[in-house]
A and B are shown apart, each in its own frame.
Chain A
Amino acid sequence: MNQPVAITGLGCLCGAGMNLAECMESMFRGVRKPRPPFRFSTDHPVSYPVLELRDEFKLPLDDQEKVYARTSQLALAAALEALADAGWDEASLRGKKVGVCIGTTVGCALNCDDFYRAYKEGDDPEMDVIERFLRSNPASVIARQLKLDGPNQTVVNACSSGTDAIGLGASWIHSGACDIVIAGGADELSRVTYAGFSSLMITDTEPCKPFDVNRKGLNLGEGAGIMVLESDAIRGDRKAWGFVRGYGSACDAYHLTAPRPDGAGLKQAMGEAFAAAGLTPEQIAFVNAHGTGTPDNDKVESGVLAEMLPGVPFLSTKGYTGHTLGAAGGIEAVFTVESLRRGKLPANIGYADADPEIKGTPVTENTEIDGEYALSESLAFGGNNAVLILGKGDD
């Protein structure tokens, strides 16, 4: 069994809000605003709704758009919110072993289609986009901006990246490699992923409906969810908002994009997380599910939940945020901790009609919860499954 790792700061921005408080309030009000993308366009005959950030955000950087790619800007914004929440600033972090572990997908892909179009057409495109890409590794950006000297890791495990990053960051605290770890996930909405997911025919033309019988697919989103993890020695008697109690991950080794029908990898990841936490399924108050709204994911995931955590309330928050890919695990872990702290879950928006193939029903309205522990899970391309068990913080 692992020692709990304290979570002392939370930060989040996404389609649901520009900071964590806004996100929680909009979810409890049942607000979501998917709409066609406004940051880019395509000639695709169908316009798929997405959840982009509602407002621009300003970082303490000159010319932030030119300096860093959007994913890294999102990561940095959420990291600064989380650090402020934990009571840290750049100066007070100096001299401490501070690591950065960030999950992403788009943030490390050379998805520069305007540059590439010019290259294909025989032009000599300028290199500023490539230079920005080379400066924009999300974990490195946070470390560089805050002048940190610990280990950095950018995890690219597709849609489980954020969950994995938090689990790995907790492991750095356990081992003594770090005093503090800034961990989570970040991803921007991109024309490339928009085209990619539509080519896979797993995007919905309407607001997504996780676990509903009429679900047609996901809505893409963007954002970042970051938490500050601390060793007991560094935290002292400062308050923790929550604890990382356990982490597990496993690979389906089955298919590049589809989940294994029997959910064996997810069950294995859950089993590892429970063993690490020293907890049993009966102690779990709720599950923040991956719940993308795709037919396959929701069917497999609900089957595993029914088998492993029967009767435990579950929800997907992707109706509010969209599927933010590498950021999703970070955002949902932050929501999980905050929901434990508030003792309340938002409704699984988009759910209306039961699917006979889905075992169990997600929470359909804002729901009071009374419990110490919750589970946040992610399933990903490549067959990755990652599970975090999170605990309630100090009262």
Chain B
Amino acid sequence: MRMAIQSIGISGGFGQGVDSLQRALVAGEVEPQTGEVERNGTVDSFPCYRAAIDGLDEFFPKRALRRIDHYSKMTLYGASLALKEAGLLEADRSRMGVIIATGYGALKTTFDFLDSYLDFGYSCSSPTHFSNSVHNAAAAHVSMQFKATAPSLTVTQFEMSVASALLTARHWLAEGRVDQVLFGATDEYCDVLRYCRKRFFCDGEQGPMAPFNFERQSAVVGEGAAFFILTRDEQQASYGYIDAVTLGNHVASPLELPADDFVIAGADGHRDCGQWYAETIGSLPASAYSPLYGSFPAAAGFDLAVAALTLKEGCYFTVPDNAGSTTTPEEAPAKISCLKFGPGGDYGLIRLSR
């Protein structure tokens, strides 16, 4: 069974909504923001792609968002945009499943909870931070706010989260458990993440991102939420179809990419994944769009949004500056493979068609 992509809701470093993503794709570049972390009297400045959630007020009164953290707000915003585009904001959602893929979950709130007892003692641990730090808190907020009473699932598998979670979306639709899946990919930035990335990559996080330069660490941290309404109903395929989802390990069983697909590589400037892309893509037509939204595990959902938009528009978007030596075929895209590798050779391959 193939899944029809009915709508997209997205928020990332390029802006809010599919139109913003499309403008970024046409422009071929997004200027990163400048993040700052102050520690020990010095300010660490670095490029980053942060997601704004200003538009959330359109969907919810401020009161309803009290005690909801940035991670869940980002998630709610992406979900709201996807539902709005599909015209489902007022629909009965009792047969709509919710699936969220995330690499790290609610990072900031996880550390806020630790703050509560490290600063004030264990008897002052914050119940609000604790309950919102649980990985499925964002999915719970989505289900609560939208009265979605069908199955709800949160999956975390680092870089493989999106492909793995899509596998379940496909099963749910094929088995008739749900009529639609509100599928989202979300990750957030936090200052501790900056510390970790700086320690791991030294100055390799200063950009500019060059995802096809597999020898250089050029990742720039990002965050955001990308949502999709997925359905069995082929009449609703505004953005084409997800035909197949495959997960495996390239080391255990070498991956051969379909010869007739355009490849959207999840390459995001991480040198330790570079060799896998180099080995599998070879001379196939390929591009990478991570310089538009940055590097984070759930960015595979953003690659999927780019693929869906490419199929809808029937044309290739400008290869982002600094993407390296990539090629696009002359004819309109009919099939696209979104490929994401993890450092150990784990891969997720999502095939889409018009």
Contact call A151/B123, Cβ cutoff below 8 A? no
Residues on the B chain within 8 Å of A130, using CB = 196
Number of A-B contacts (CB under 8 A): 196
Contact call A250/B118, Cβ cutoff below 8 A? no
Q: Which of B118-147 contact A (CB under 8 A)?
A: 118, 121-123, 125-127, 130-137, 139-141, 143-144, 146-147
Contact call A109/B192, Cβ cutoff below 8 A? no
B151 at the interface (CB under 8 A from A): yes
Nearest CB of B to A61, in Å:
16
Given the interface contacts A143-B249, A251-B152, A381-B140, does A272 sit within 8 Å of B344 by beta carbon? no
- Of all chain A residues, the one with the shortest Cβ separation from B40 is A122
- Distance of A151 Cα from B350 Cα, bound (Å): 13
Contact call B107/A44, Cβ cutoff below 8 A? no
Contact call B143/A383, Cβ cutoff below 8 A? yes
B154 at the interface (CB under 8 A from A): yes
Contact call B192/A382, Cβ cutoff below 8 A? no
Contact call B175/A251, Cβ cutoff below 8 A? no
- Distance of A227 Cα from B309 Cα, bound (Å): 41
Contact of A109 among B116, B135, B247, B344 (CB under 8 A): B135
Contact call B139/A113, Cβ cutoff below 8 A? no
Contact of A127 among B116, B143, B157, B200 (CB under 8 A): B200
Residues on the A chain within 8 Å of B177, using CB = 272
Q: Do most interface residues of chain B lie in helix, strand or loop, or is the interface mixed? A: helix
- Distance of A131 Cα from B177 Cα, bound (Å): 38
- Distance of A143 Cα from B155 Cα, bound (Å): 16
Contact of B122 among A43, A105, A119, A124 (CB under 8 A): A43
Contact call B140/A383, Cβ cutoff below 8 A? yes
Given the interface contacts A152-B157, A383-B143, does A195 sit within 8 Å of B122 by beta carbon? yes
Q: Which of A249-270 contact B (CB under 8 A)?
A: 249-257, 264-265, 268
B160 at the interface (CB under 8 A from A): yes
- Chain-A contact segment, one of B8-16, B20-28, B166-174, B329-337: B166-174
Contact call A251/B151, Cβ cutoff below 8 A? yes
Contact call B248/A150, Cβ cutoff below 8 A? yes
- Distance of A382 Cα from B105 Cα, bound (Å): 14
- Chain-B contact segment, one of A11-19, A67-75, A169-177, A344-352: A169-177
Nearest CB of B to A357, in Å:
24
A57 at the interface (CB under 8 A from B): no
Nearest CB of A to B178, in Å:
10
B276 at the interface (CB under 8 A from A): no
B150 at the interface (CB under 8 A from A): yes
Contact call A127/B199, Cβ cutoff below 8 A? yes
Nearest CB of B to A48, in Å:
11
Contact call B125/A139, Cβ cutoff below 8 A? no
- Distance of A153 Cα from B121 Cα, bound (Å): 36
Contact call B156/A156, Cβ cutoff below 8 A? yes
B164 at the interface (CB under 8 A from A): yes
Q: Which of A140-197 contact B (CB under 8 A)?
A: 140, 143-144, 147-158, 164, 168, 171-172, 174-175, 177, 192, 195-197
Contact of B144 among A139, A164, A177, A383 (CB under 8 A): A383
Residues on the A chain within 8 Å of B65, using CB = none
Contact of A108 among B125, B156, B253 (CB under 8 A): B156
Contact call A381/B136, Cβ cutoff below 8 A? yes
Which residues in A have some Cβ–Cβ distance to B below 8 Å? 42-45, 105, 108-111, 113, 116-117, 119-120, 122, 124, 127, 130, 134, 137, 139-140, 143-144, 147-158, 164, 168, 171-172, 174-175, 177, 192, 195-201, 249-257, 264-265, 268, 272, 380-384
Which residues in B have some Cβ–Cβ distance to A below 8 Å? 39-40, 98, 104-105, 107, 110-111, 113-118, 121-123, 125-127, 130-137, 139-141, 143-144, 146-158, 160, 164-165, 167-168, 171, 174-175, 177, 192, 195-196, 199-200, 247-249, 252-253, 344, 346
